[in-house]
Amino acid sequence: NAGVTQTPKFQVLKTGQSMTLQCAQDMNHNSMYWYRQDPGMGLRLIYYSASEGTTDKGEVPNGYNVSRLNKREFSLRLESAAPSQTSVYFCASSDGGWTYNSPLHFGNGTRLTVT
């Protein structure tokens, strides 16, 4: 049981380049999330998808786009990378966000550096 799988694990981009971070879960979860983690700031929500076919902005959505391709997959795209987007990105999933007691299950993260 793989859980939440993120690719790639590491990526270096030049300013202005684009890339897509991939995420897939095999737990049949309805909800999926993208967070970024920066030193001293904890994890901040970029975008989330409450259920297949829906996506919504989180706390820090600027510079990002997402696609919920199907129930399993939720991708994060950086159209024109900036140094401020250097971070560790986590994808997560949960049974649903409609009940407050379901924990998030996280992927192992993608370490992105933008030079």
Give the closest residue to 11 by CA, choosing from 91, 78, 107: 78
Q: Minimum distance from CB of 80 to other proteins (Å)? A: 26
Q: Does 45 bind other proteins (CB under 8 A)?
A: yes
- Segment near other proteins (CB under 8 A), from 15-23, 60-68, 75-83, 103-111? 103-111
Per the CB < 8 A criterion, the answer to whether 36 and 49 are in contact is no
Residue 96 contacts by C-beta under 8 Å, 6 or more apart in sequence? Answer: 29, 30, 31, 50, 51, 102
Whole-number Cα distances in Å, 65 to 16, 27, 43, 52, 75: 15, 24, 18, 16, 8
Q: Minimum distance from CB of 16 to other proteins (Å)? A: 27
Q: Please identify which residue in 14, 28, 42, 53 interacts with other proteins, judged by CB under 8 A.
A: 42
Q: Does 53 bind other proteins (CB under 8 A)?
A: no
Which positions touch other proteins (CB under 8 A)? Answer: 31, 33, 35, 40-45, 48, 50, 56, 58, 88, 90, 92, 97-101, 103-106, 108-109, 111
